[in-house]
């Protein structure tokens, strides 16, 4: 049996000369020197990031990078400052805090960044982690390919194919640190292969297999899933290999595979169970359309994007290029490796195909249409992903095209086999003409590696400035971290500042209202009276919906929002005027701020990016509670405002909610009056409830009248529900003392 016919997982002898063999078999050169090579590759691939490690981040496709900078900071802050586990945080979604079990928290990279954070700061540590990821990703596949082929030069090319893949490049541009962390998967696969192949030092490979599974769990559950699927496929392949001696070998193989998974399963339970609970209770399921939209397409696998090589021929950004391009050079070498060594290499081709089918999602599409409708997206050949989608937790994975990561890894291994065969073929044909065969051993892989890199390299990265306004450093010195919170605005739709505000929190180190998490949490506080108005400063589609429009509520009562801020210890409202694009939204924002903080009040801080307003003292000690300080807000069930000769009214067809915020720390007695109220169909019964408790019923007649309710408001938010048997018009709402 020659070298190219060895069973998968067995390292054949190197084809290099004895001198080269000795050089590359030494741990300091054959194992660790490639790390230096891949570090250089990582620096060039992310260029010019290395020139701006402390003041820039890669950013060209989304604002997720700010969230991941926060993740990195939070891991250090939770461990070293709060001395607590990182899966819940009081720093977001003030005043209730946030559950982070189902958030893309990436604890592993956060912990790895802590030494660099302490030395260089959050931004530099974040960028150093990215360089680490790219470096170790290439190195891990190099070790795997070298183990399988025994050829270090072709294995270096395999590492480039994986570490510089278009998927990794796209994830880097998105700033998604937990997904750029592709380095642990090949290291796990290498250790799992050595475990089932019964290599020397068996306990080392078993322990490392478990360790790398845990590391994957602390990075992203997506890659853990990929590792588990690969493990199942390789176990089946190993059993197939051993079918002639199944009585002797199968029990041992199954015991090893199941043992690794069982030990890992026990160790991961403390974080797995809460994550599954959160996934099951937080609306984590994805619509079919979302999953189909984020699936790979056949055309996308062969569509070039920004490329230093194909850019010479006009290739650039296009909707079809979404990171699932396989690469023509890598694909050619991989197909060569599969064909010439099919008996040995079919497993890697089969795994590549399995993950490729999974990447295609629920329905087969030839090409991608960014303007798909849900109905149009469903038109296609159903794929196995449709069955997986129906399984428990099978519908929570949002982006199937990321399965191409494992396809790329398998392609890298096959490319190493193909390049090794090509080297051997050329040497055999030119044996009498080659004066220095060792030169070809490195020259051909060097050329192949360069072409692969140029095919995948998109050119210099777009970098974003990470300068933080000086105000955040100022408030970092104000008291302890939990003495007060801040509210950043606007926070609605495309105008949201919240993702970047999370990064700013790494400097201010005070809790904030809201937060940008992987899955949108249930957060009623964002709709509280006053809070909603301040968060949605930009919401003003028409003049009638702005603050200055007349309504059944006296909008000047919005000055009582200061009481809500004070009640929840929100000391500062930080406005980002640059996100208020239209004149209407700017006018509305100014009216809200002037109403809440006072007509003649000026921001306590202002620069080119932020305006900062400080919450004024609202509850005066020693004075009796004042019902005029209650802040009302219309909830669900109210019809549109209608202007009548008697003033504005709103129709309630059956039931409506009115929220009333009591800023005092004790119950407050008030009288609530609805003026100019009348039913539309004769006398009707009005059955009010306050915080779920029934109040005395009223009768509303067709004649204009004033309806009065006596209420005892509890501290904080109170929910008044009005239920009427037939439609009722309600006029101006007045709150007074009893």
Contact yes or no for 437/425 (Cβ under 8 A): no
pLDDT at 440 (0 to 100): 76
Query: Who's near 674: CB < 8 A, 6+ residues apart?
Result: 552, 706, 707, 708, 730, 731, 732, 733
Q: What angle do CA 183, 187, 189 make, to 5 degrees?
A: 120
pLDDT at 489 (0 to 100): 92
pLDDT at 543 (0 to 100): 44
Q: Where are the alpha helices (DSSP H) in 87-220?
A: 107-120, 122-149, 152-163, 166-174, 177-180, 184-196, 202-219
Q: How far apart are CA 476 and CA 571, in angstroms?
A: 13
Query: Who's near 666: CB < 8 A, 6+ residues apart?
Result: 625, 715
pLDDT at 405 (0 to 100): 97
The tokens for 20 are 């080269």
Radius of gyration of the chain (CA): 32
The tokens for 593 are 């701020």
Domain boundaries, the chain: 3-182+285-456, 470-614, 627-736
Burial of 243 (0-12, 13-18, 19+ CB in 10 A): exposed
Per-position DSSP letters for 238-254, written without gaps between them: HHHHTGGGHHHHHHHHH
pLDDT at 4 (0 to 100): 38
Burial of 270 (0-12, 13-18, 19+ CB in 10 A): exposed
| C-alpha torsion sign, points 677, 681, 683, 687 | negative
Listed residue (273, 167, 271, 180) closest to 218, CA to CA: 271
Contact yes or no for 73/65 (Cβ under 8 A): no
Q: Does domain 627-736 have CATH number 2.60.40.10?
A: no
pLDDT at 550 (0 to 100): 56
Q: What angle do CA 666, 568, 498 make, to 5 degrees?
A: 155
The tokens for 15 are 């084809």
Q: How far is CA 295 from the centre of its chain?
A: 17
pLDDT at 496 (0 to 100): 75
Per residue in 226-256, pLDDT (tens digit) is 999 999 999 999 999 999 998 899 999 999 9
Q: What is the DSSP letter of 512?
A: B
Question: Considering all CA atoms of the chain, what is the largest pairwise distance in Å, rounded to the nearest integer?
Answer: 111
Query: Who's near 330: CB < 8 A, 6+ residues apart?
Result: 161, 408, 411, 412, 415, 452, 455
Q: How far apart are CA 527 and CA 347, in angstroms?
A: 54
Listed residue (484, 582, 584, 496) closest to 535, CA to CA: 496
| C-alpha torsion sign, points 268, 274, 280, 283 | negative
Mean pLDDT by 10 residues, the chain (738 residues): 40 45 65 93 97 92 90 97 95 96 93 96 97 98 96 95 96 94 98 96 96 96 96 96 92 96 96 87 80 93 91 84 92 96 95 96 92 90 90 84 96 97 86 70 91 95 95 95 95 78 96 91 92 81 49 87 96 92 81 88 92 91 88 92 87 94 95 92 92 93 91 96 93 89
End-to-end Cα, the chain, rounded Å: 98
Predicted TM-score of the model (pTM): 0.91
To which residue do tokens 């004769």 refer? 682
Question: How, if at all, do strands 485-489 and 570-575 pair?
Answer: parallel
Q: How far apart are CA 673 and CA 60, in angstroms?
A: 54
Q: How far is CA 316 from the centre of its chain?
A: 26
pLDDT at 590 (0 to 100): 87
Contact yes or no for 415/161 (Cβ under 8 A): yes
Q: Helix, strand, or coil here: 138?
A: helix
Per residue in 491-547, pLDDT (tens digit) is 876 557 899 999 999 999 999 999 999 888 889 999 999 999 899 886 654 444 554
């Amino acid at each position: 049996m020659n070298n190219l016919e060895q069973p998968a997982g067995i390292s054949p002898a190197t084809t290099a000369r004895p001198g080269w063999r000795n050089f590359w078999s030494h741990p300091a050169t054959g194992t660790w020197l490639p790390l230096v090579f891949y570090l250089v590759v990582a620096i060039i691939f992310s260029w010019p990031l290395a020139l701006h490690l402390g003041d820039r981040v890669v950013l060209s496709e989304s604002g997720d990078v700010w969230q991941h900078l926060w993740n990195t900071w939070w891991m250090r802050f939770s461990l070293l400052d709060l001395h607590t586990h990182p899966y819940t945080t009081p720093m977001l979604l003030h005043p209730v805090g946030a559950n982070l079990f189902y958030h893309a928290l990436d604890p592993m990279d956060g912990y790895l960044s802590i030494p660099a954070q302490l030395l260089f700061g959050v931004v530099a540590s974040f960028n150093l982690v990215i360089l680490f990821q790219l470096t170790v990703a290439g190195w891990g596949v190099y070790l795997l390919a070298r183990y399988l082929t025994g050829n270090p030069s072709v294995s270096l090319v395999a590492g480039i194919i994986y570490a510089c893949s278009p998927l990794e490049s796209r994830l880097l541009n998105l700033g998604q640190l937990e997904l750029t962390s592709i380095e642990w998967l090949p290291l796990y696969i290498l250790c799992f292969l050595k475990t089932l192949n019964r290599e020397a030092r068996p306990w080392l490979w078993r322990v490392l297999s478990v360790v790398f599974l845990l590391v994957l769990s602390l990075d992203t559950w997506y890659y853990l899933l990929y590792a588990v699927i690969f493990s199942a496929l390789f176990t089946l392949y190993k059993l197939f290999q051993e079918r002639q001696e199944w009585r002797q070998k199968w029990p041992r193989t199954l015991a090893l595979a199941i043992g690794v998974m069982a030990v890992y399963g026990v160790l991961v339970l403390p974080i797995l169970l809460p994550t599954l609970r959160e996934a099951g209770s937080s609306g984590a399921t994805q619509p079919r359309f979302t999953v189909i939209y984020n699936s790979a397409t056949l055309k996308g696998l062969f569509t070039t994007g920004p490329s230093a090589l194909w850019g010479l021929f006009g290739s650039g950004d296009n909707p079809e290029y979404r990171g699932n391009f396989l690469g023509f050079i890598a694909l050619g070498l991989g197909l060569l490796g599969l064909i010439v060594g099919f008996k040995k290499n079919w497993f890697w081709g089969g795994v590549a195909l399995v993950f490729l089918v999974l990447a295609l999602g629920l329905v087969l599409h030839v090409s991608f249409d960014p303007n798909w409708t849900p109905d149009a997206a469903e038109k296609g050949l159903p794929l196995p992903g449709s069955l997986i989608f129906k399984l428990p937790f099978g519908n929570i994975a949002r982006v199937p095209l990321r399965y191409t990561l494992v396809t790329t890894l398998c392609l890298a291994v096959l490319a190493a086999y193909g390049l090794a065969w090509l080297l051997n073929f050329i040497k055999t044909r030119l044996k009498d003409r080659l004066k220095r065969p060792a030169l070809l051993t490195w020259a051909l892989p060097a050329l192949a590696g360069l072409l692969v890199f140029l095919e995948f390299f998109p050119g210099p990265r777009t970098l974003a400035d990470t300068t933080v306004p000086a105000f955040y450093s100022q408030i970092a010195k104000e008291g302890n971290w939990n003495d007060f919170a801040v509210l950043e605005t606007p926070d609605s739709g495309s105008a949201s500042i919240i993702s970047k505000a999370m990064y700013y929190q790494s400097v201010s180190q005070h809790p904030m209202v809201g937060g940008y998490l992987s899955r949108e949490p249930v957060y009623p506080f964002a709709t509280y009276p006053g809070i909603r108005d301040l968060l949605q400063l930009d919401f003003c589609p028409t003049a009638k919906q702005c603050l200055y429009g007349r309504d059944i509520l006296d909008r000047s009562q919005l000055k009582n929002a200061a009481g809500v801020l004070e009640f929840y210890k929100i000391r500062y409202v930080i406005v980002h005027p640059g996100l208020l694009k239209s004149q209407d939204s700017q006018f509305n924002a100014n009216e809200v701020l002037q109403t809440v903080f006072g007509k003649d009040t000026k921001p306590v801080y202002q620069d080119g990016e932020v305006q900062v307003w400080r919450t004024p003292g609202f509850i005066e000690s020693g004075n009796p509670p004042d019902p005029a300080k209650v802040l009302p807000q219309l909830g669900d069930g109210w019809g549109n405002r209608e202007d009548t000769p008697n003033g504005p009214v709103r129709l309630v067809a059956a039931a409506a909610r009115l929220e009333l915020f009591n800023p005092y720390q004790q119950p407050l007695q008030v009288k609530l009056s609805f003026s100019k109220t009348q039913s539309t169909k004769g006398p009707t019964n009005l059955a009010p409830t306050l915080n779920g408790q029934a109040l005395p019923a009223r009768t509303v007649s067709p004649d204009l009248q004033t309806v009065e309710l006596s209420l005892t408001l509890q501290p904080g938010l109170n929910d008044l529900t009005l239920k009427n048997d037939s439609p009722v018009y309600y006029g101006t709402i007045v709150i007074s003392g009893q």
